[in-house]
Structure 1
Amino acid sequence: MASSSGTSSGSSELQNSGFEEDLQKLMDQKKRKRMISNRESARRSRLRKQEQLDDLVAKVSQFRKEINQIIPRMNFTTQYYLNIEAENSILRAQTAELSHRLQSLNEIINFLNANNGGFGIEENYSIADSAYMNQTCNSHYVNQQPIMGMADFLQY
């Protein structure tokens, strides 16, 4: 009996060691498959990142081209705006000057109308006629000649 138990325990150890070897081979195989799968996944990830980087580089290049096209147009528009603003300032100054001249002329006419005796000027005459005002104030080409003062006017 002793010999049969010794044989069976020896064969059991052989079976256990064979099972352990098979188990170890199976584990090694799974480990290799996982390692290969991880490498492949990492490779795909690197490819995706490279594609994303290439897309971003292409977008940066496209945006730079657009900026290079927009900047000259923006500079032109800014210069045009500044020119129009300067012209507008000139027109405002001319309008103010013409309004002042008109006011002065109306004052002269009012003075002459009040002292109508010796000058021979008709009653109720006024330069502030609306048609004249519209024509003068809306004109872009304003006569820049000065209006004669009262003393010069009376000498003639």
Structure 2
Amino acid sequence: MMDQRKRKRMVSNRESARRSRMRKQKHLDNLATHVDQLMNENSQIVTSLNVTSQFYLNVDAENSVLRAQLDELTHRLRSLNEIITCLDLTSCLFDTETDEDASMNMHGDEFLSPWNLLPVNQPIMGTADMLIMH
């Protein structure tokens, strides 16, 4: 009887140990599956981050170009406004024509006016050494 109880307990302990090993193995398998999922997610996040970083660099480069164009166009606008101001001042100073002279000048003499010879859409070019006072 004692041997039978001992044997029964031994068999029971073996079964319990086997079930414990199986639970442990199942837990390890679940952890390995979870690690694979996390690695896949990590890979996708890294890919997304790389794409986003490249997009950011492209947008940043485009912004730099647009800022440079804005600076250039702002400078050109200031220059053209200064020219318009100068032209307005000189036309006010030298406006001694009569109305008949003005209408003749507007209709008959417009091609000979030096201001009509300037190309309208051409940039005003200059170098930095032109601005230096000697």
Q: TM-score range by the shorter chain?
A: 0.5 to 0.7
Gaps of 5+ in 1: 99-131, 141-156
State the AA in 2 paired with 1:18: R
Give the distance between the partners of 2:62 and 2:18, measured in 1 at CA: 65
Partner residue, 2:4: 4
Q: 1:43: how far off?
A: 1.7
After TM superposition, list the pairs within 5 Å mapping 1:89-108 onto structure 2.
89-92=89-92
* Number of residue pairs matched by the alignment: 105
Q: 1:136: how far off?
A: 7.7
Partner residue, 2:57: 57
Q: 1:47: how far off?
A: 1.2
Runs (4+) of structure 1 exceeding 4 A deviation are 92-95, 132-140
Q: Which has the higher contact order (CA 8 A, sep 6+)?
A: 2
State the AA in 2 paired with 1:64: S
SS in 2 for 1:80: helix
Q: 1:48: how far off?
A: 0.6
Q: 1:14: how far off?
A: 0.3
Partner residue, 1:39: 39
Tell me whether 1:27 sits opposite 2:27 in the alignment: yes
Structure 1 or 2, whichever has the larger Rg, is: 1
State the AA in 1 paired with 2:83: N
The TM-score, its normalising length taken from structure 1, stands at 0.55
Q: Tell me the alpha carbon deviations over residues 26-76 of structure 1, each in whole angstroms, 9 at most, x when there is no partner.
A: 111111111222122112111111110000101112222333344333322
Gaps of 5+ in 2: 107-134
Q: 1:133: how far off?
A: 6.3
Identity of aligned residues (%): 4
Two-structure CA RMSD over aligned residues (Å): 2.7
State the AA in 2 paired with 1:89: L
